[in-house]
Amino acid sequence: MTSSSASGDAALPDGLSDSDLLDMYRTMVLSRNLDERVWLLNRQGKAAIAASAQGHEAAQIGTIKALDPSRDHFLIYYRQFTAMLGLGTTPSELLSGFLAKKGEPMSGARQFPLHGAHPRVDLFSFSNVVATQLPHAVGVALADKMRGSDAVTIVFFGDGAASQGDTHEAMNFAGIHGLPVIFMCENNRYAISVPIHKQMPLESVAARASSYGFPGVSIDGTDMLAAYEAVSAAAQRARAGDGPTLVEANVERLLPHTTDDDHTRYRPGDDIESMKTRDPLAVTRNMLISRGLLSDAEAGQIEAEAKATVNAVTDEVDALPYPTTESMYEHLFAGSRSQ
Amino acid sequence: MSQKTVIKAVRDAMLSEMRRDPDVFIMGEDIAHRGGVFLATDGFVGEFGEERVIDTPLAESSIAGIALGAAVNGKRPIAEIQFADFVWPAINQIVGETARVRYGTNGRKSAPLTVRVPYGGGVRGGLYHSQSIEVLFAHTPGLKVVAPATPYDAQGLLVSAIRDDDPVVFLEHKKTYRLVRGEVPDGDYSEPIGVADVKRQGGDITVITYGLMLHYVLQAAQALSEQDRVEALVMDLRTLRPLDRQSIAQAARHTGKVLLVQEDTPAVSVLSEVSAIIAEEAFYDLDAPVMRVGPPELPPMPFSPVQEAAFMPSPEKILAAMRKLAAT
């Protein structure tokens, strides 16, 4: 699971420049700071619920960077904080979801944060029901294949979703039809409290891909370059008409499942301690420093800028009104209001 | 006009829409070379190819979920569920996901998807090939639910369903497929979703129904007229969501005596809601309590022929209820 790219002495993957690496790190730092702020706002009684991306940032930013937001489709789940920022969602837009404020762009604050559809990128998440998005992604890819589009569809899910029947049905159909879809599993080894060995008898989610006739690759999810390389290869396969790929990013869930959870009830103490050594922000910072792209002072500067941005958007979004009750009647059907 | 069966009307609606709009395609179990277990898509794969007539694995949740994904990406899929009894694995994708796409994205995405579901009993289908499942869908904001009973309505409403920009669950009663024949216009035509239809005029009692029961009610109404000189107004709901409140209330007021006839088990059913609408809209015009005819509260429905017949409402049972209501 260790990648030579994380050690800092390897050549950069095709398509990435030094400045890209720094941009990706900046997005991760911003994501972490905003994520921490949302938890604070939850404890202040202002954000009703949050699921954190802390520990998943490197996998998400590496994945997004390998795709094309102008033509590809992104079906996310509730932990895609960093992916959202990487795709150009502003911190203010993202925070307005957590505070359920007027103008929230994904669902008009009808849904939990990160659910709905993005205003500028073809990114969506219809529901909280785990794994329902996998068949949707396969249908999106089917439509693209029918019209001869070279777009790629990526669908994100966790290890918990891997147990659902929809996951099997979606992968099976995608394999049969050779569809241009990437199944991106962020495996943090816990489905809320249930550890991976009680979810599946295999070592790896990626190993299942062989059952569906397409490749499965397992990567170190703390290594953004490994994610970039795996997803780039998967996207290339998809665009070439060679079908789906299952990518499994092995990540850490640094916080409990959501703001309503307490992982000390079920995670052994040494597990909680050891995961801290796999914090993707620290891993990425060290990689950039060892590549000579970042100094401690510059890292501090990036951190300070992120904090300032988060403080500014906290003030801005906190001051926004809630949506009107009137607006909840809109958009049940095309051109109609519900009674 | 030409005479055709309900199944032919269903087939012709899909055929004309697939010829008209290249974004329409159909997916389901055994629909390609088999032509569907009821032959609704007989010959389609020859005309449209396997790209637009997709035989799926036996996996209903993904039939609905994949069709939904294609719908939000610009296609107009028709998802065929082989039997209503097998729709349960797809309920989450239809009720939980599809119905909420437009609302849950604040209008940004839509799901122009038609889910065709052959349903209903009286066909020796036993517990797992006879069910009436309409109430699950009819309870769901965000869905439109259509249940035609005649070839004319089946063809016209299926055309509307496929053209609709929102999801439609289209219920086809299996027993009507080859039993019921009727006139259908030859050219392009459609019937509006959400509008009930008076299938027989009458001034003495009002009978409201849908699906196969429409035909049993019409038989009973004819007998009632011939034998008792009592004339029944017969209303076919055709659309189960949204219900045509205004027409229902008008039909109830017209005679002041209403009989509701259904094949689905009565408790918490579509016609329970019709009864509530009548209470809300026409209470002071009623001359008698609303009456109902339906099967017993048992899982639909026994395989054994004698028990199946006892379970199903029949023209005779309906006629008896009509007489009782007329004499009230």
Q: Is B185 left (phi over 0), alpha (psi -120 to 50) or beta?
A: beta
Which ipTM score applies to this complex?
0.96
Range B14-41 average pLDDT: 98
Domain presence at residue B192: no
Range B25-35 average pLDDT: 98
CB contact under 8 Å between A110 and B75, yes or no, is no
CB atoms near residue B287 (< 10 Å): 11
Tell me which residue of B309, B316, B312, B307 sits closest to B295, measured CA to CA.
B312
Give the single-character DSSP code of A337: B
Can you tell me the distance from the alpha carbon of A168 to that of A182, in angstroms, rounded to the nearest whole number?
A: 14
Tell me which residue of A278, A305, A310, A299 sits closest to A22, measured CA to CA.
A299
Range A141-167 average pLDDT: 97
In a shared domain, residues B218 and B283: yes
In a shared domain, residues B247 and B106: no
Q: Which of B184, B218, B238 is the last residue of a domain?
A: B184
Alpha helices in A44-104 (DSSP H): 57-65, 81-86, 91-98
Backbone angles phi, psi at A106, to 5 degrees: -80, -45
Query: What number of C-beta contacts closer than 8 Å exist between A and B?
Result: 138
Range A245-272 average pLDDT: 95
Interface with A, mutate which of B103, B109, B115 (most A CBs under 10 A): B103
Domain of B271, CATH number, reads 3.40.50.920
Decide if pLDDT at B217 tops 80. yes
Residues in B touching A96 (Cβ below 8 Å):
none
Decide if pLDDT at A3 tops 50. no
Nearest CB among B59, B65, B106 relative to A331 is that of B106
Can you tell me the distance from the alpha carbon of A3 to that of B146, in angstroms, rounded to the nearest whole number?
A: 56
Domain of B31, CATH number, reads 3.40.50.970
Number of domains observed in the structure of chain B? 2
Q: What is the pLDDT of residues A107-131, one digit of tens each?
A: 999 999 999 999 999 999 999 999 9
In a shared domain, residues B144 and B236: no
Q: Per-residue confidence at A11, pLDDT binned at 50, 70, 90?
A: confident
Q: Which of A266, A278, A291, A331 is catalytic?
A: A266
In a shared domain, residues B163 and B261: no
Q: Which of B163, B184, B205 is the last residue of a domain?
A: B184
Chain B 134-153, CB below 8 Å of chain A: which residues? Answer: 141-142, 144
Give the single-character DSSP code of A163: G
In a shared domain, residues B167 and B202: no
Decide if pLDDT at A4 tops 90. no
Amino acid identity, position A271: D
In a shared domain, residues B128 and B62: yes
Range B157-175 average pLDDT: 98
In a shared domain, residues B165 and B313: no
DSSP string of A208-271, one letter each residue: GGGGGTS-EEEEETT-HHHHHHHHHHHHHHHHTT---EEEEEE----S-SSTT--GGGTS-HHH
Can you tell me the distance from the alpha carbon of B112 to that of B78, in angstroms, rounded to the nearest whole number?
A: 9
Domain presence at residue B189: no
Interface with B, mutate which of A104, A120, A136, A181 (most B CBs under 10 A): A136
Predicted local confidence at residue A1, as pLDDT? 41
Q: Per-residue confidence at A335, pLDDT binned at 50, 70, 90?
A: confident
CATH superfamily of A4-317: Thiamin diphosphate (ThDP)-binding fold, Pyr/PP domains (3.40.50.970)
Q: How far is A136 from chain B (nearest CA, A)?
A: 4
Q: Which of B184, B211, B231 is the last residue of a domain?
A: B184
Predicted local confidence at residue B320, as pLDDT? 98
DSSP string of B92-157, one letter each residue: IIIIIIGGGHHHHTTTS-----EEEEEE--SSS-GGGS----HHHHHT-TT-EEE---SHHHHHHH
Interface with A, mutate which of B51, B91, B108 (most A CBs under 10 A): B108
Range B164-179 average pLDDT: 98
In a shared domain, residues B131 and B171: yes
Determine contact, residues B240/B277, Cβ cutoff 8 Å: no
CB contact under 8 Å between B93 and A119, yes or no, is no
In a shared domain, residues B97 and B206: no
Predicted local confidence at residue A339, as pLDDT? 44
Nearest CB among A111, A119, A170 relative to B62 is that of A170
Can you tell me the distance from the alpha carbon of B114 to that of B80, in angstroms, rounded to the nearest whole number?
A: 8
In a shared domain, residues B180 and B202: no
Asked, as a colleague might, if the bond just before A275 is cis with ω within 30 of 0, I would say no
Domain presence at residue B26: yes
Q: Given the structure tokens 């102008």, which residue do they identify?
A: A70
CB contact under 8 Å between B105 and A139, yes or no, is no
In a shared domain, residues B205 and B161: no
In a shared domain, residues B128 and B17: yes
Decide if pLDDT at A161 tops 60. yes
Task: Residue B285: give the domain boundaries.
Answer: 197-326
CB contact under 8 Å between B65 and A110, yes or no, is no
Domain presence at residue B190: no
What tokens does A155 get? Answer: 């669908």
A18-43 vs A280-290: helix crossing angle, rounded to 10: 150
Q: Which of A56, A118, A208, A253 is catalytic?
A: A253
Taking the model in full, what pTM does it have?
0.96
Is A266 marked active-site?
yes
